[in-house]
Amino acid sequence: MTSILNKAVTFAMILHLLWFTLFFTYIFGFIGLESAFLHPAVWLISPVYGLIISIIALVKKTALEPAILSVIFSFGTFILWSLILGINV
């Protein structure tokens, strides 16, 4: 179970890095997402996954440092997404 949780936390960190890459390329106009349905799903799946997996890892006391970083990245993601959502509305 521990190795699966370690891999899940590592995958969450990769998703966070991918999210931040997509966020900044989207903000600077390099790419865009055309589907109105997929837009919230793409932007919210990785931080929600990272937050859930990190909370499980923190409760089980496995991979503490990556789990704490993933929680920080998740909250940063939610703040950035809320900021952009507020600007667009």
Task: Compute the mean pLDDT over every residue in the chain, rounded to the nearest whole number.
Answer: 78
Query: Which tens digit of pLDDT belongs to each residue from 55-77?
Result: 888 898 888 888 888 888 888 88
Q: Is the pTM of this model over 0.75?
A: no
On the 0-12 / 13-18 / 19+ scale of CB atoms within 10 A, 78 is: middle
Quote the pLDDT of residue 51. 87
d(CA 21, CA 70): 15
Q: What is the pLDDT of residue 15?
A: 84
User: So what's the pLDDT on residue 34?
Assistant: 58
> How many other C-beta atoms are found inside a 10 Å radius of the C-beta of residue 45?
13
Positions of the chain with pLDDT under 50: none
